């Protein structure tokens, strides 16, 4: 199958999804109101609540959610064949992710910019808040560990890219100063910064940055040193005002994303490469089944619960107009789906461009499940480098370029995730009455980085192997629970929730099934880490999920009964519920 045919067909479907399906959601399901005063205006504080141009919010949201996951997940999942992986990316993006991200922003905007955990309390019930927050805590912990390992691994494999990544930090701060102090447009400063970043690629080739001498001096692995340095950086970066580093770096990365997608798409068109992987792969007998594990291996890039954390944690606090939610939420989902599509093409066509027998070489790269998991991000960067080669870019330069892109996206997601984890830790502390932690930003941030450091430092392929699947399961479970919050809210407001209920039911079934499969595997494993750490953790997450689903089902039933009640009674009851929620918040 020519890669360009797949590329154009999927992009056409995405365009139709935005034109028609997102318009349906905006009008019929979420009923956007251009006159609604958003939390960014109502609670403007110059730190978290900042009314922002929709293009900048889009850049922040898109880059925050489009980290390493939509690259790594599809790069692993093509092991089962490019057909199932692509089908899930397309359907998941258009019908699940678009509704999920879009809806998470809208519901948060309508509830004072509150986080998805607090929204669970407001929309579903009191117990739902703590249940949801605990599940989110586990999810974000695993997100942070996995992304740190991805970044550290790429730094070790491609030290030529480190300089370009590091220079992005002061450049982003400079762009932030120019944009927000002088009130100028961000486009030209961000493009200028990106030019400097790429100008450093040849310099990085001459002066590659490694931590090997430091690692040898203190007697640890280079991966360990990089992980500590990465989390040390995020400790400080996550505490800065969003306009100072997070937003301007997101905008730089948006230009980088556009360029990266352009390079991949043009490379596919010019190269006219053929997909070397089979439509459905005849995997070894001892391989895990693609059903249901495909739907958790590809999370970001199809639908991801982490997006609801970003949507309600930071994006909703920056939205200038409620109608911007369609552009920011749904279009970001399509952008991430496009990145997942590019990952599939890079790992099924691009990675074997230079092979004498591409099909045979692909089978070597994906010989078994372990081979598929190993170096997934590396397969993507190699594929992108080969696509860039069709455009006259030396493969060595293309490899550094692709590495800078992946690390930049993953680092931005990591920054956002640590910031969100701090919010979550403080919320949980507030609920249980531990005021010193609830009010201590430094201590909460320290906890947010120390726990994932421990997980990231487990030797072997733990982070990108075993932990990735548990992360994927928890991530998709969170997406299902976020959809449950959205469905109840939509129903309470007298609108048809069917567009939310279909992906909700599908995700809950797939993730619950996967959790059971993983629980059996962890509990019967000879590895003590799996048997005594991951098995209990899986069991706790499953128990929380079942409890949360029951709470959501009861809330949905009450909302449906309220919807069919007489109008006067419905309005009075809804108003009382909202007043009670506001009272608790105060």
Of 99, 42, 176, 25, nearest to 503 by C-alpha is 99
Residue 561 has pLDDT above 90, yes or no: no
> What would the mean pLDDT of 208-233 be, rounded to a whole number?
95
CB 410 within 8 A of CB 230: no
> What would the mean pLDDT of 67-79 be, rounded to a whole number?
90
The per-residue pLDDT for 415 is 85
Lowest mean pLDDT among 16-20, 202-206, 225-229, 580-584: 580-584
What is the percent of the chain where pLDDT is above 90? 58
C-alpha 128/C-alpha 485 separation (Å) is 10
pLDDT digit string (tens) for 474-501? 888 889 989 999 999 999 999 999 999 9
Q: Enter the tokens of residue 161.
A: 């890219």
CB 397 within 8 A of CB 201: yes
Instruction: Write the CA distances from 99 to 102, 214, 291, integer angstroms.
Output: 5, 47, 23
End-to-end Cα, the chain, rounded Å: 59
Q: Residue 381: pLDDT band by 50, 70, 90 thresholds?
A: very high
pLDDT digit string (tens) for 428-467? 898 888 888 988 999 999 999 999 999 888 877 776 667 7
C-alpha 150/C-alpha 145 separation (Å) is 9
Q: Residue 50: pLDDT band by 50, 70, 90 thresholds?
A: confident
pLDDT digit string (tens) for 330-355? 999 999 999 999 999 999 999 999 89
Lowest mean pLDDT among 38-52, 117-131, 401-415, 511-525: 117-131
> What would the mean pLDDT of 203-222 be, rounded to a whole number?
94
Dihedral over alpha carbons 467, 470, 473, 477 (to 10 degrees): -110
> What would the mean pLDDT of 571-580 be, rounded to a whole number?
46
- Tell me the chain's radius of gyration from C-alpha atoms: 23
Instruction: Say which residue the tokens 């230079």 belong to.
Output: 354
Q: Residue 274: pLDDT band by 50, 70, 90 thresholds?
A: very high
Instruction: Write the CA distances from 156 to 146, 304, 432, 458, 460, integer angstroms.
Output: 16, 28, 42, 17, 15
C-alpha 288/C-alpha 303 separation (Å) is 21
Q: Enter the tokens of residue 441.
A: 């930003």
Q: How many helices (H) and strands (E) are present in the chain, helices listed first?
A: 29, 0
Question: What are the residues facing 2 on neighbouring strands?
Answer: 274
C-alpha 451/C-alpha 137 separation (Å) is 11
Q: Residue 184: pLDDT band by 50, 70, 90 thresholds?
A: confident
The per-residue pLDDT for 573 is 44
Lowest mean pLDDT among 49-53, 264-268, 387-391: 49-53
The per-residue pLDDT for 493 is 92
CB 344 within 8 A of CB 275: no
Residue 128 has pLDDT above 90, yes or no: no
Q: Each residue of 332-346: b (16+ CB within 10 Å) or e?
A: bbbbbbbbbbbbbbb
DSSP 3-state percent helix, strand, coil across the chain (nearest 5): 80, 0, 20
Instruction: Write the CA distances from 94 to 8, 13, 411, 500, integer angstroms.
Output: 16, 8, 26, 12
DSSP letter string, 452-519? HHHHHTSSTTTTTTHHHHHHHHHHHHHHHHHHHHHHHHHHHTT---HHHHHHHHHHHHHHHHHHHHHH
pLDDT digit string (tens) for 22-48? 999 999 999 999 999 999 999 998 877
What is the percent of the chain where pLDDT is above 70? 95
Average pLDDT of the chain to the nearest whole number: 89
The per-residue pLDDT for 172 is 92
Instruction: Write the CA distances from 37 to 103, 114, 319, 320, 415, integer angstroms.
Output: 17, 15, 10, 8, 28
The per-residue pLDDT for 464 is 65
pLDDT digit string (tens) for 384-420? 999 999 999 999 999 999 999 999 888 888 888 898 8
């Amino acid at each position: 199958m020519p890669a360009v045919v797949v590329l154009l067909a999927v992009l056409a479907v995405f365009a139709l999804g935005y034109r028609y399906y997102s318009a349906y959601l905006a009008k019929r399901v979420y009923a956007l109101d251009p006159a609604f005063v958003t939390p960014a205006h109502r609670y403007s504080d110059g730190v978290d609540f900042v009314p922002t141009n929709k293009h900048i919010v889009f850049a922040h949201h898109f880059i925050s959610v489009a980290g390493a996951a939509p690259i790594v997940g599809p790069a692993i999942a093509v092991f089962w064949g490019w057909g199932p992986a692509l089908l899930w990316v397309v359907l998941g993006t258009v019908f699940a992710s678009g509704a999920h991200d879009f809806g998470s922003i809208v519901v948060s905007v309508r509830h004072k910019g509150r986080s998805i955990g607090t929204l669970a309390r407001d929309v579903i019930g009191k117990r739902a808040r703590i249940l949801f927050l605990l599940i989110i805590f586990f999810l974000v912990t695993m997100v942070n560990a996995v992304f740190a390992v991805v970044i550290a691994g790429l730094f070790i494999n491609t030290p030529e890219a480190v300089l370009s990544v590091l220079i992005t930090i002061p450049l982003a701060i400079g762009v932030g100063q120019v944009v927000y102090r002088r009130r100028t447009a961000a486009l030209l400063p961000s493009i200028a910064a990106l030019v400097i970043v790429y100008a450093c690629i040849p310099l990085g080739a001459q002066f590659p940055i490694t931590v090997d001498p430091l690692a040898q001096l203190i007697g640890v692995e280079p991966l360990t040193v990089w992980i500590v340095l990465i989390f040390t950086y995020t400790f400080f970066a996550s505490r800065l005002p969003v306009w100072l580093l997070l937003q301007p770096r997101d905008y730089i990365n948006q230009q980088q994303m556009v360029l990266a997608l352009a390079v991949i798409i043009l490379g596919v068109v010019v190269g006219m490469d053929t997909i070397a992987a089979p439509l459905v792969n005849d995997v070894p007998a001892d391989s895990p089944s693609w059903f249901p594990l495909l739907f958790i291996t590809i999370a970001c890039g199809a639908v991801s619960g982490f997006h609801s954390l970003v949507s309600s944690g930071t994006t909703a606090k920056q939205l200038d107009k409620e109608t911007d939610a369609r552009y920011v939420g749904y279009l970001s989902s399509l952008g991430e789906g496009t990145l997942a599509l590019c990952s599939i093409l890079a790992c099924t066509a691009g990675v074997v461009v230079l092979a004498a027998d591409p099909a045979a070489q692909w089978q070597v790269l994906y010989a078994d499940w372990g081979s598929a998991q190993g170096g997934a991000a590396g397969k993507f960067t190699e594929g992108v480098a080969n696509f860039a080669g069709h455009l006259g870019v030396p493969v060595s330069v293309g490899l550094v370029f692709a590495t800078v892109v992946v690390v930049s996206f993953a680092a931005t997601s990591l920054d956002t995730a640590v910031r969100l984890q701090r919010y979550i830790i403080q919320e949980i502390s507030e609920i249980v009455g531990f005021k010193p932690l609830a009010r201590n930003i430094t201590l909460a941030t320290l906890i947010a980085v120390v726990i994932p450091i421990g997980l990231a430092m487990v030797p072997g392929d733990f982070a990108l192997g075993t932990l990735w699947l548990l992360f994927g399961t928890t991530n998709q479970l969170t997406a299902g629970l976020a959809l449950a919050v959205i469905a109840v809210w939509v129903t309470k407001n007298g609108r048809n929730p069917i567009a939310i209920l279909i992906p909700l039911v599908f995700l809950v079934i797939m993730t619950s099934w996967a959790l059971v499969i993983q629980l059996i595997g962890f509990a019967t494993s000879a590895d003590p880490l799996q048997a005594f750490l991951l098995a209990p953790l899986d069991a706790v997450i499953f128990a929380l999920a079942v409890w949360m689903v029951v709470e959501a089902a009861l809330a949905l039933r009450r909302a449906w009964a309220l919807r069919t009640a007489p109008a006067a009674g419905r309005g009075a009851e809804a108003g009382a519920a909202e007043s009670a929620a506001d009272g608790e918040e105060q």
